[in-house]
C-alpha cells in the first residue's frame, strides 16, 4: 500500500513500507503548509524545476536526511555543488531507483532560481514532470505546466493518479486542466498549485465536480491510500 499526502502548492509525499519520497518540498514560506521542514523524513527528493517555490527546502531536507535528489540535470549538478547526493535526468529519460521507476516528462514552464541579493537568476535547465511507477501504482506529477498535446502520449501507461496544476496565471487553469485530465485518462485526478498566493486563487471543487467521479480535492495535510 502507498500513501499520498498533500503538503500544499505542488508538494506531495509518497510513502510505502520501505521508502519515503517528497516532491517539490516548498514548506518554509508556504502560507498554506501545515508541516514544517524539520518534520520531513525522506529517502528521496524529486524537484520538477528550479523556481524557489518548488526547490523549496530541498537542500536542508537532503542534508538532514542524507536523501538523494532526483531532478533535471542542471538542478542535480547545482545540488551536487552544494555537497548533496543527486541524480540528474533528461526529458523522456527513465531510471529505476530502489523505490521504483521514474520517467521525466515534458512541462511547458520556466526554470530559474532567483537570488535577490545578487539580483541574479541562475538557469536551472528545462522544467519537467514525473511519471512514477511505485508498487505497481503509476502517479503522474505534471509539475508547473501549460496544457500541451503530447499529454495524450502519456496515456499509453494506465495512470492511477494524476496531480495537475489548476492555479492559472503561471500554469494551466481549470479549463485546460480538464482537457489534460481527459487526455491522460487517469483513474483519479487531484488538483494542485492553487490558493497558495492570491494570483493563483481557485475553487477546486467545481473543477473536481466536472471530472465525473474521477477527481478528488486533497486538502492540505490530507492523505489518500493507493492499493496495489
Total domains, the chain:
1
Cell of 63: 542534508
* pLDDT surpassing 90 at residue 200: yes
**Cα-flanking dihedrals φ and ψ of residue 61, to 5°?**
-65, -45
pLDDT at 228: 64
- Does a structural domain hold residue 130? yes
CB 100 within 8 A of CB 130: no
Helix (H, G, I), strand (E, B) or coil at 193: coil
- Does a structural domain hold residue 30? yes
- Does a structural domain hold residue 225? no
Reported as a pLDDT band with limits 50, 70 and 90, residue 2 is very high
CB 59 within 8 A of CB 82: yes
What are the C-alpha distances in Å from 111 to residues 41, 54, 121, 178?
A: 26, 10, 9, 25
The domain in which residue 54 lies consists of 2-219
Cell of 221: 495535510
Mean pLDDT of the chain: 97
Reported as a pLDDT band with limits 50, 70 and 90, residue 1 is confident
Helix (H, G, I), strand (E, B) or coil at 177: helix
Q: What CA–CA distance (Å, rounded) separates 147 from 200?
A: 16
pLDDT at 85: 98
- Does a structural domain hold residue 224? no
* pLDDT surpassing 80 at residue 178: yes
CATH (domain of 87) = 3.60.15.10
User: Per-residue pLDDT averaged across 102-119, rounded?
Assistant: 95
- Non-local CB neighbours of 85 within 8 Å, separated by 6+ positions: 62, 66, 67, 68, 69
- Non-local CB neighbours of 172 within 8 Å, separated by 6+ positions: 145, 146, 147, 164, 165, 166, 180
* pLDDT tens-digit readout, 54-102: 999 999 999 999 999 999 999 999 999 999 999 999 999 999 999 999 9
pTM value? 0.97
* pLDDT tens-digit readout, 118-159: 999 999 999 999 999 999 999 999 999 999 999 999 999 999
Q: Which helix (H) or strand (E) holds 184?
A: helix 174-184
- Does a structural domain hold residue 161? yes
User: Per-residue pLDDT averaged across 10-37, rounded?
Assistant: 97
User: Per-residue pLDDT averaged across 190-199, rounded?
Assistant: 98
- Does a structural domain hold residue 9? yes
- Does a structural domain hold residue 166? yes
- Does a structural domain hold residue 226? no
* pLDDT tens-digit readout, 33-54: 999 999 999 999 999 999 999 9
Amino acid at each position: 500500500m502507498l500513501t499520498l499526502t498533500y503538503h500544499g502548492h505542488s508538494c506531495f509525499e509518497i510513502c510505502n513500507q520501505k521508502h519515503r519520497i517528497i516532491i517539490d518540498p516548498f514548506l518554509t514560506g508556504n502560507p498554506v503548509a501545515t508541516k514544517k521542514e524539520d518534520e520531513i523524513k525522506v529517502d528521496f527528493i524529486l524537484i520538477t524545476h528550479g523556481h524557489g517555490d518548488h526547490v523549496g527546502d530541498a537542500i536542508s531536507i537532503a542534508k538532514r536526511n542524507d536523501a538523494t535528489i532526483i531532478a533535471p540535470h542542471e538542478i542535480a549538478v547545482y545540488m551536487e555543488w552544494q555537497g548533496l547526493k543527486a541524480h540528474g535526468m533528461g526529458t523522456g529519460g527513465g531510471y529505476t531507483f530502489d523505490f521504483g521507476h521514474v520517467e521525466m516528462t515534458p512541462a511547458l514552464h520556466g526554470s530559474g532560481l532567483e537570488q535577490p541579493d545578487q539580483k541574479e537568476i541562475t538557469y536551472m535547465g528545462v522544467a519537467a514532470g514525473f511519471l512514477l511507477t511505485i508498487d505497481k501504482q503509476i502517479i503522474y506529477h505534471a509539475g508547473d505546466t501549460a496544457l500541451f498535446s503530447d499529454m495524450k502520449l502519456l496515456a499509453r501507461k494506465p495512470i492511477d493518479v494524476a496531480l495537475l496544476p489548476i492555479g492559472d496565471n503561471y500554469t494551466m487553469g481549470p479549463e485546460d486542466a480538464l482537457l489534460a485530465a481527459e487526455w491522460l485518462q487517469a483513474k483519479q485526478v487531484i488538483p494542485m498549485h492553487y490558493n497558495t498566493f492570491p494570483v493563483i486563487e481557485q475553487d477546486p471543487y467545481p473543477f473536481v465536480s466536472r471530472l465525473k467521479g474521477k477527481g478528488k480535492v486533497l486538502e492540505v495535510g490530507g492523505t489518500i491510500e493507493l492499493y496495489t
